[in-house]
Structure 1
Amino acid sequence: MKPVTVFGPDFPFAYDDWIKHPGGLGSLPQEAHGDKVAIVGAGAAGVIAGYELMKLGLRPILFESGQFGGRLRSQPFEGAEDVIAELGGMRFPVSGSGFYHYVDLLGLDSAPFPNPLTPAAGSTVIDLLGQTYYAHTLQDLPPLFQEVAQAYDAALEEGARFADLKQAIRDRDIPRIKDIWNPLVSAWDERTFYDFVVSSEAFQKLSFHHREVFGQVGFGTGGWDSDFPNSMLEILRVNVTECDDHQRYIVGGVEQVPRRLWQHAPDQIVHWPAGTTLRQLNGGATRAGVKRIRRLSDDQIEVTDSWGRTEGFGAVLVTCQTHLLTTQIDTEETLFSQDLWMALDRTRYMQSAKTFVMVDRPFWKDKDPATGRDTMSMTLTDRMTRGTYLFDNGPDRPSVICLSYAWMTDALKVLPLPVEQRVDLALSALAKIYPGVDIRGHIIGDPITVSWEADRNFLGAFKGALPGHYRYNHRMFGHFVQGDMPAAERGIFIAGDGVSWTPAWVEGAVQTSLNAVAGIITHFGGCTAPDNPSPVDAYALHGPIRLNG
Structure 2
Amino acid sequence: MTDLSAFGPDFPFAYDDWISHPAGLGAIPAGRHGAEVAIIGAGAAGVIAGHELMKLGLRPVLYESAKFGGRLRSEVFEGTEDIIAELGGMRFPVSSRGFWHYVDLTGCDSAPFPNPLTEAAGSTVIDLEGESLFARCLDDLPDLYREVARAYDAALEEGARFSDLQAAMRARDAKAVKAIWDRLVPAWDERTFYDFITSSEAFRALSFRHREVFGQVGFGTGGWDSDFPNSMLEILRVNLCGLDDNQRYIKGGVENVLHRLWRHAADCAHWGRTTLADLNGGATRSRVVRIGRDASGRIAVTDTWGRTDLYDAVLVTCQSHLLTTSIATDEDLFDQKLWMALDRTRYMQAAKTFVMVDRPFWNDIDPATGRPLLSMTLTDRITRGTYFFDNGPDRPGVICLSYSWMTDALKVLPHDAEKRVDLALAALGHIYPGVDIAGHIRGNPICVSWETDENFLGAFKGALPGHYRYNHRMYGHFMQDALPPGQRGIFLAGDGISWTPAWVEGAVQTALNAVWGILHHFGGATDPANPGPGDLYPELGPVALD
TM range (shorter): over 0.9
Asked if the contact 2:2/2:95 (under 8 Å) is kept, the reply is no
Task: Output the TM-score relative to the length of structure 1.
Answer: 0.99
> C-alpha distance in 2, partners of 1:273/1:138?
54
Aligned equivalent of 2:125: 125
Asked if the contact 1:298/1:487 (under 8 Å) is kept, the reply is no
Aligned equivalent of 1:273: 272
Aligned equivalent of 1:364: 362
Give 1:81 shift: 2.8
Residue identity over aligned pairs, in percent, reads 73
Asked if the contact 1:61/1:286 (under 8 Å) is kept, the reply is yes
Gaps of 5+ in 1: none
> C-alpha distance in 2, partners of 1:214/1:75?
32
SS of the aligned residue for 1:291 comes to strand
Give 1:273 shift: 3.0
Gaps of 5+ in 2: none
Aligned equivalent of 2:237: 237
Aligned residue pairs total: 546
Give 1:404 shift: 0.1
Q: Does 1:423 align with 2:421?
A: yes
SS of the aligned residue for 2:120 comes to helix
Aligned equivalent of 1:412: 410
Asked if the contact 2:417/2:446 (under 8 Å) is kept, the reply is yes
Q: Does 1:505 align with 2:503?
A: yes
SS of the aligned residue for 2:47 comes to helix
- Output the amino acid matched with 2:501: P
Aligned equivalent of 1:162: 162
Asked if the contact 1:358/1:398 (under 8 Å) is kept, the reply is yes
> C-alpha distance in 1, partners of 2:533/2:167?
23
Aligned equivalent of 1:458: 456
Give 1:2 shift: 6.3
Asked if the contact 2:289/2:326 (under 8 Å) is kept, the reply is yes
1:63-462 map, 5 Å: 63-266=63-266, 268-274=267-273, 276-297=274-295, 299-462=297-460
Aligned equivalent of 1:482: 480
SS of the aligned residue for 1:527 comes to coil
Asked if the contact 1:114/1:390 (under 8 Å) is kept, the reply is yes
> C-alpha distance in 2, partners of 1:381/1:297?
58
Asked if the contact 1:383/1:429 (under 8 Å) is kept, the reply is yes
2:523 to 522, 525, 535: 525
> C-alpha distance in 2, partners of 1:81/1:279?
23
SS of the aligned residue for 2:362 comes to helix
- Output the amino acid matched with 1:439: I
Asked if the contact 1:189/1:232 (under 8 Å) is kept, the reply is yes
Task: Output the TM-score relative to the length of structure 2.
Answer: 0.99
- Output the amino acid matched with 1:269: C
Asked if the contact 1:2/1:171 (under 8 Å) is kept, the reply is no
> C-alpha distance in 1, partners of 2:219/2:105?
32
SS of the aligned residue for 1:120 comes to coil
RMSD of the TM alignment (CA)?
Answer: 0.8
> C-alpha distance in 2, partners of 1:322/1:397?
41
More moved, 414-423 vs 296-305: 296-305
SS of the aligned residue for 1:473 comes to helix
> C-alpha distance in 1, partners of 2:387/2:190?
34
Moved over 3 A (4+): none
> C-alpha distance in 2, partners of 1:493/1:387?
37
> C-alpha distance in 2, partners of 1:240/1:217?
19
